[in-house]
Amino acid sequence: MKTSFTLRDFPISTSDTFDQKQALLVIRDVSEIPEPFQNPFLEAALKASKLSDGKFLTVEGQYQGMEKLGILRIDPNKPLSHQVAEATRSFEGSMGIYVGNSLDCNAAIFGFALGAYRFSNYLTKEKEPLSYELVQSPHLVSHELLTRIQSIYLARDLVNMPSNEKNPQKLTLLVRNLPWKSTVVRAMDADELREKGFGMLLAVSSGSAVPASVLVFERNIAPMASPDSGAVDKQSPGSSSQDPLPKPFPDYGIIGKGVTFDAGGLQIKPDKAMADMKMDMAGAAATIAAFWYLDQCDVAKSVVGAVGLVENLLGGSAFKPLDIVRAHNGLTVEIHHTDAEGRLVLGDLASYVSQTYLPSKWLVSIATLTGACMHALGYDYAGLMSEDDALARDIQAAADRTCESVWRLPLDERMTEGTHAKIADRKNLTSEMMAGASMGAAFVSQFVCEPVKYAHLDIAGPAYRTKPRGIFPSEATGFGTEILLEYVLL
């Protein structure tokens, strides 16, 4: 079995011919066949099929020795990437893609690449390596576009990997060993986390034999804001927004939940609910992938990130219902359910990042946090929660420019009041079990230090699908990577 992790370069190149391909996908926006492919048989096939907008036709074994030719006529009212991805997914083997001249070539290639994604790292019988070529196109594929695709592949690969290959220690090693160019990637081990007071995160990890780890990513941040220098009292946030980089305070903070397997703790999940729980680190995967893009494309934004890597298991030393633990910001927290563990991890990360780095524009958490969010919004929308209307609007607008969708859910003092406990400062779940998605965000918001603006994305539904749709395959989708990038790159 393969144990090493290889970062995938998406193998796309350009070519002038299409005679070496097993399959060719022609994407067009007009009724006639593009000139390079004119052929009486195709004309007849197209006429017979009455190929209409958004329809996809495949012709097998009939054209220039290729096994398959696909023709997609784009529906102008639907996102191009989604349509191309769905057509691509129905193909196998090395492929060519021809994009009609009047179409957005980048959106077509993006859809093509994400539709071509396969996770085959653990198949011992090597399949023929796939290659993809952009045929007869004047367009060059930019480094930015290829890196964006590679980042989403990275997020998908990390989520699809089995938990025994990506426990907190192995995932830490894997991420640190990626060839980062200019991002400072720092790992805090369990001893350091204990020293720094990550009491909630360590409680979650207490039932596992594998110690917890927190990975911190720093881009364009001056050393004076480094974690042990106590940056909090240096300047007010926002005052440095016109300064040249690197900045004493980053503009943006991103924190991700990285529960590499969630059995639910002592309040164990039923078997079906546990089956997919290798995906409970998808928020961390999206965070890592977003930083990979920022790093590889030398984006000159000042950003800090942190992912909390833990397993939530049932070992003899596991945390128990009604235990009281002390959070990073000093609040005491009563455990009302061991399976509401993601908010404990995020709460400590939120406190650490907001206190230490004081991001001047916003702090966003991203996590597969609640089943309640899946029940409310299904697989196609992430839940967006923020007490700051302007911030919520901006994230919504950023998401609207991507293939990823978000839907705002409430977060205000009516929710945060519900997190107050009787014999401790806070509790991690309310007995009423209502408004579960909002209550998760409300809990985390208690640990963000003023005046940092905060928003939360619950990706429990769209991070891992049972059925493919558009650019999203079944299983890991890489969801969240695009929203984070779009919002940071604004």
Residue of 107, 5, 472 lying closest to 282 (CA atoms): 472
Nearer to Zn ion, 304 or 366 (CB): 366
How many CB atoms are closer than 10 A to CB 178? Answer: 16
Contacts with Zn ion, residue ranges (CB under 5 A): 262, 339, 341
Crossing angle of helices 80-89 and 105-115, rounded to 10°: 40
Contact 213, 187 (CB under 8 A): yes
Least distance between Zn ion and beta carbon 339 (Å): 4
Residues 356, 202: Cα–Cα separation, whole Å: 19
Least distance between Zn ion and beta carbon 269 (Å): 7
- Residue 276 corresponds to which tokens in the numbers above? 């997919």
**Residue nearest Zn ion, Cβ-based:** 339
Contact 355, 329 (CB under 8 A): yes
Q: Which residues contact 325 (CB under 8 A, 6 or more apart)?
A: 199, 200, 203, 319, 332, 333, 335, 344
Residue of 287, 286, 289, 256 lying closest to 151 (CA atoms): 289
Residues 382, 367: Cα–Cα separation, whole Å: 10
Least distance between Zn ion and beta carbon 370 (Å): 9
Nearer to Zn ion, 341 or 387 (CB): 341
Our answer to whether residue 47 is catalytic in this structure is no
CA atoms within 13 A on the CB side of 111: 29
The catalytically annotated residue of 8, 234, 269, 326 is 269
Least distance between Zn ion and beta carbon 395 (Å): 24
Backbone torsions φ then ψ of 261, nearest 5 degrees:
-155, 135
Least distance between Zn ion and beta carbon 264 (Å): 6
**What are the distances in angstroms from CA 292 to CA 148, 218, 277, 380?**
9, 12, 24, 25
DSSP 24: E
How many CB atoms are closer than 10 A to CB 113? Answer: 27
The catalytically annotated residue of 343, 361, 427, 465 is 343
Least distance between Zn ion and beta carbon 375 (Å): 15
Nearer to Zn ion, 250 or 264 (CB): 264
Element (H, E) at 15: strand 12-15
Least distance between Zn ion and beta carbon 312 (Å): 6
Residues 290, 404: Cα–Cα separation, whole Å: 14
Our answer to whether residue 465 is catalytic in this structure is no
First vs last C-alpha separation in the chain: 42
Element (H, E) at 71: strand 66-73
Nearer to Zn ion, 184 or 274 (CB): 274
Residues 434, 317: Cα–Cα separation, whole Å: 30
Nearer to Zn ion, 86 or 339 (CB): 339
Least distance between Zn ion and beta carbon 440 (Å): 10
Nearer to Zn ion, 27 or 345 (CB): 345
Least distance between Zn ion and beta carbon 271 (Å): 15
Nearer to Zn ion, 199 or 359 (CB): 199
Residue of 209, 240, 212 lying closest to 225 (CA atoms): 240
Nearer to Zn ion, 334 or 339 (CB): 339
Sheet holding 324-326, edge to edge: 324-326, 332-334, 426-427
Name the residue type at position 435.
A
Nearer to Zn ion, 81 or 428 (CB): 428
Residue of 398, 386, 362 lying closest to 437 (CA atoms): 386
Residue of 396, 358, 353, 415 lying closest to 483 (CA atoms): 396
Would you name the residues annotated as active-site residues?
Answer: 269, 343
